[in-house]
């Protein structure tokens, strides 16, 4: 790839891109508005050679009230990866599906619906359980999900469950002959 920054600047003539940065020579990122993202991703695939959807993931920025989707695209000829960030309102988390661009996107979208509650209208099997069969709580990857409270509620205490200080565990169980105290000199 000659220059990812130049490519994104060229694409910026038709899109409102921001936060353009080159993290490494083979990895760059940009942010696109939700309304333009799928068209940008399609043009990156069709016109710029980013033919492989590496993955689609999400970050929860609860303090700002947004989710940030990250579409990672790869161009094999240029040996270059491009991340496209798209912000969504956390309270109305919905994004146009890209399953028609890459079939495997439907799987990522199902996971994001289940784990974060993000909707992708028209995506196949979106409302079927993905890996949390029978889940009846809020999506577990939301920052407000209380993992400790959920565990205490669902999994009652039983013998053998507990926590230990790892450094103490190492000293007493794994290395019982080592001590922080100087040796007495005897064998």
Per-residue pLDDT 10s for the chain (187 aa) are 458 888 998 888 999 999 999 999 999 999 999 999 999 999 999 999 999 999 999 999 999 999 999 999 999 999 999 999 999 999 999 999 999 999 999 999 999 999 999 999 999 999 999 999 999 899 999 999 999 888 888 887 777 767 778 888 778 877 777 655 555 555 4
CATH superfamily of the domain spanning 4-158: NADH:ubiquinone oxidoreductase Nqo5 subunit (3.30.460.80)
Q: What is the pLDDT of residues 75-93, one digit of tens each?
A: 999 999 999 999 999 999 9
Which residue reads 């080592």 in tokens? Answer: 178
| pLDDT reported for residue 159 | 74
| pLDDT reported for residue 180 | 58
How many Cα atoms sit within 13 Å of 155 on the Cβ side?
10
The three-class DSSP label of residue 114 is helix
How crowded is residue 131: how many other Cβ atoms within 10 Å of its Cβ?
9
pTM over 0.85: no
Tell me how far apart the alpha carbons of residues 19 and 29 are, in angstroms, rounded to a whole number: 7
| pLDDT reported for residue 175 | 78
The CA distances from residue 105 to 137, 161, 178, in Å, are 25, 39, 53
Listed residue (95, 128, 93) closest to 110, CA to CA:
128
Q: What is the pLDDT of residues 41-80, one digit of tens each?
A: 999 999 999 999 999 999 999 999 999 999 999 999 999 9
Domain ranges of the chain: 4-158
- Calculate the average pLDDT of the chain: 90
């Amino acid at each position: 790839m000659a220059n990812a920054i130049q490519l994104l600047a060229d694409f910026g003539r038709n899109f409102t891109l921001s936060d353009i940065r080159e993290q490494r020579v083979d990895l760059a990122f940009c942010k696109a508005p939700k309304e333009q993202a799928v068209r940008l991703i399609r043009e990156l695939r069709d016109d710029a050679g980013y033919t492989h959807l590496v993955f689609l993931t999400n970050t929860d920025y609860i303090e700002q009230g947004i989710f940030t989707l990250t579409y990672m695209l790869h161009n094999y000829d240029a040996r270059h990866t491009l991340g496209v960030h798209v912000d969504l309102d956390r309270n109305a988390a919905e994004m146009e599906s890209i399953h028609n661009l890459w079939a495997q996107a439907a799987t990522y979208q199902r996971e994001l619906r289940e784990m974060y509650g993000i909707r992708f209208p028209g995506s196949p099997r979106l409302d079927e359980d993905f890996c949390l069969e029978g889940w009846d709580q809020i999506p577990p990857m939301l920052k407000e999900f209380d993992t400790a409270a959920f565990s205490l509620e669902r999994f009652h205490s039983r013998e053998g469950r507990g926590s230990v200080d790892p450094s103490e565990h190492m000293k007493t169980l794994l290395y019982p002959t080592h001590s922080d105290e100087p040796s007495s000199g005897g064998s």
